Amino acid sequence: MPWQSVRILVDSKQAEPLSDALMEAGALSVSLEDADAGTVDETPLFGEPDHPTAELWPHSIAMVLLEADADVAAVLAAAAEQAGIPAPAEYTVETVAEQDWVRLTQAQFDPIPISPRLWIVPTWHDAPDNRAINLKLDPGLAFGTGSHPTTRLCLRWLDENLKGGETLLDYGCGSGILAIAAAKLGAARVDGVDIDAQAVTASRDNAELNGVTARFCLPGELAPGQYDVVVANILTNPLKGMAPLLAGRVRPRGQLVLSGILAEQAEDVMKVYRDWFVFDSPEIDEGWVRLAGVKQ
């Protein structure tokens, strides 16, 4: 059975009341996204200890899933009335065809070569090279499958620079892929942090699947201390806002690796971190950048 996907642009004051009202009015699901994501106006939502947290993005997109026969205008009007706001004047509707979502999702992820010795292998595939370091991964609910350029950039840095015995923090661990790779590449102690409890759970499951020891937790649960290497593959604005926090986690002469940055944003990010770090030249992959620096 097909569904209807409705896309609505809403402001921060309307987003959450409208979302709740839409669910009560019969929506199958409602998700909110930053309408300014990927632009200079992108707004970080953190939840980090001692860091200011925005209540919601100034401009949000509500993605609403409705039954195929639902009266979209009537559902939106009823939800808006319950939320005490004007009914959305502009929205778009697309038909979502019924599909075998499990098979479709799996078809999107084939084994990915990161280097001659490092591969990412989804759990439903056999390893192409049993002699390689194979990262078994179930993408699950968390970001970080290895298919995105920012993840590949960070994995290549780990593959090229870890010598063995390092301590490493993966800040914004997602699926845990970077932390797991570090452990397989010889890091002595690996910790991962994410503000999403589902990401922490997925990371723990993936670490167990790969037979490595790594500790994953929410930010407030991370013990004090510094690391030889800190990796953060997040987004530009959160990276800029968390500069003191991340810099404080890197030991003197330790290394910081940042990604989730568009090429045109690289100089702005380096400017924020130059009080602590000397950076190598940015590495670019499909318009995304990885920055690596040494703490002075």
Q: Among 77-91, 93-107, 136-150, 152-166, name the most confident range.
A: 152-166
**Contacting residues for 114 by C-beta, under 8 A, at least 6 apart:** 120, 146, 152, 155, 156, 159
pLDDT in tens, 173-202: 999 999 999 999 999 999 999 999 988 998
283, β-bridge pairs? 290
Tens-place pLDDT, residues 58-91: 778 899 999 999 999 999 999 999 999 998 888 9
Q: What is the pLDDT of residue 128?
A: 85
Give me 224's structure tokens.
Answer: 């004090």
Residue 142 has pLDDT above 50, yes or no: no
Alpha helices by DSSP H, 66-186: 72-83, 101-107, 149-161, 177-184
Q: Answer yes or no: are the C-beta atoms of 231 and 154 closer than 8 Å.
A: yes
Structure confidence at residue 72 (pLDDT): 95
CATH topology identical between 3-98 and 103-295: no
Higher pLDDT, 32 or 161: 161
pLDDT at 46: 47
As a CATH number, domain 3-98 is 3.30.70.120
Residue 126 scores a pLDDT above 60? yes
What residue ranges do the domains of the chain occupy? 3-98, 103-295
pLDDT tens per residue, range 244-291: 999 999 999 999 999 999 999 999 999 999 999 999 999 999 999 999
Give helix 177-184 / helix 149-161 axis angle, nearest 10°.
20
Confidence of residue 123 (pLDDT cuts 50, 70, 90): confident
Positive or negative, the Cα torsion across 248, 250, 256, 259? negative
The pLDDT value given to residue 276: 98
The model carries a pTM of 0.69
Give CA–CA dist 183/113, Å, rounded. Answer: 18
| Least reliable range by pLDDT among 142-146, 188-192, 206-210 | 142-146
Q: What is the pLDDT of residue 10?
A: 87
Hey, what CATH topology would domain 103-295 get? Rossmann fold (3.40.50)
Checking if the pLDDT of 52 tops 50, the result is: no
Average pLDDT, the chain: 87
